[in-house]
Chains A and B, each alone.
Chain A
Amino acid sequence: MSRDAKFLELIEITTKFDTLTALDKVSLTVAKGEVVCIIGPSGCGKSTLLRTVNWLAPPNAGTVRLEGQSVGQAPERRQTGRGIRALNTFRARMGMVFQQFNTWPHLTALENVTRAQVVVLGRSAAEAAERARAALCDVGLADKIDDWPEMLSGGQKQRLAIARALAMDPSLMLLDEPTSALDPELVSGVLAVLKSLAEKGMTMLIVTHELGFAAQVADRVVFMEAGRIVEEGPTSQDLHAPKTERLKDFLAKLTATQMPSAMAQKVVAHDPI
C-alpha cells in the first residue's frame, strides 16, 4: 500500500482503566485526505480511541503511526523526558477539537490561536498573528479577534477552538464530539466549517452523533461498541445498509431522536424497524 493509504495507523490498541477494558485490540487505518466518522453508544471507547492518536490517553498496548513514524508505542508513556519533545512535534501536526471547546478563558481569541504557534512551531509573533487572523477568518470569527472567549457563544467558542487547531497547519484533525455540547441552532455553523475543511482535503477523524453530517462528509464510518470496532465500511453502506443487527439497532435509536433530516429518513426507509 502507498504511504498515503497508511497515513495514520492504529495497531492493536488496548487500553484499560482499572478493570474496565476501554479498547480491546482496536486497529484502524486512515488514508490521507480521508474523513472517518466514529459512531457508537456512549462508553464504547470512541473518545478514548481518538485520544490515543495523539497520546493524550496512552494505551496499555499497541502502536500509533503517523506517516509511518511511531507517535507512541505502548507501554511507553512519553509524558516526561526526551520523548516529550518528539511527541509534541507529532501533537502539533494533529489538531484536536474537544466536546467542551477548552478555549483558554484568560486569553483573547487571537492569543488563544497564536500561543502554540509561537511556542511549538517557533513562529514569530507577527507571523503567528497573521496566520491566526486567517484561521479566525476561515471559521467566521474575523470580527471577534480581540474578544474574550467567555463573550462568545458556544458555537463561536468551538469555532475558535477549531481555528486554534488549524493555525498549527496540522496534517490531521481529531474531533471529539465537536457539536455535542452546543445548542441545536449553533450546530450548523460548526458543521459548515468542518464540511469546508473536509472539502479542502483535510484528513479527519470525527467522533460524532450527527448522522446527517456523517452522511455528508464521511468517506467511511466506523461503528464501535464495548471497546471494539463492530462494523466499518464506506459511509453509504454503513448508514444505509448496515450489516450487523447492532448497528441497525443503534441507527434506529439515533434517528428516532434526531431531526428527520433527509439522511435520517433514508436510514429509516432502509430499515423496517
Chain B
Amino acid sequence: MVSLLEASGLVYKYPAGVLAVDGLDFSLESSELVVVCGPNGSGKSTLLRLLCGLLEPLEGSVSFEGAALSSLGLSERARRISLVPQSLRTLSDVTVENFAMAGRYARIDRWHGPRADDLRAVKSAMVATEVDDLCDRAMSELSGGQRQRAMLARTLASDARVLLVDEPTTGLDPEHQVRVMQLIEAQVSRGRSAVVVTHDLNLASQFATSVMILEEGRVVTRGVPGDVLCSDVLVPVYGEHLHFGTAPDGRPLVIPWATAGRGGN
C-alpha cells in the first residue's frame, strides 16, 4: 500500500558539511499524528524541511501518494503539505484574516483574487483555531498563544492533507500547549495527518499515534508512546536526568529531573 507521505534513505548535510540527516526512512499514513522527538541538533527540523521539499536531500527521496515530491511544482506541493514554522516575522500591520489568507496562496487565482471557497476556508480555519474574533487585529498585537493559533489557522486554510508543525508549544503556558495540541489532534481526527516536532515528551505521550526518536540524524526507534517513552529508549538518547512515571490514564510521563532516577516504569 502506498503511504500518504514517504521518505527513504534521506541524507542531508548543512553547507558547512555537518551531517544533519543520515539515511533516514519515514512514512506517514492517513489520520496519523507522528510526534518527532530527540535532543537538540538531532535533525528534527531538518527532517520537516526535507519532507515538504524546502530542502533537497543529498541522497534518498520523498514521495506524496507515490509521486516524487521533486516532480511536483511549488504550488502543487503547498496544496498537499503545509509547514507551520516555529516562529514567523510578518509585516507590522497584517491582520489575522490576511495572514490566514496567505495559506490559500497556492489556490488563489492571481487575477481573480479570493473566491467564495477561499473566504469560506479561511473563515472555517479561523473558527477552528478560535481566532475568528481576532480577525481584524494586527499579528504584531497578538500574544504568543494567539499567534500560534493564527499560524495554525493559516495552515488549516491551505486545506493541505499533511501538516508539518515545528515546535508549536515552545514558549506557551501549559493551558495553551494543550489547546494547540488538541487543535492538531482534532484536524487529524478529521482525516488530515500531522508530523509534530517537539521537545515535550509528555505532550507526545498524550497526543501521538506514533512517536519517533531521532539522534544524530538517525531514527533510534518509532512506535506507540507506551513502547517508546521508556527509560530503555530515552536514557541512552537524553542521558540520566529523567524521571519516569505514569499518568492517571496509564500513559507514560517523563520529567526532566536533576537527580537521576528511574521511578515508575
Do these two chains interact?
A: no
Q: Which residues of B contact A (CB under 8 A)?
A: none
Q: Which residues of A contact B (CB under 8 A)?
A: none
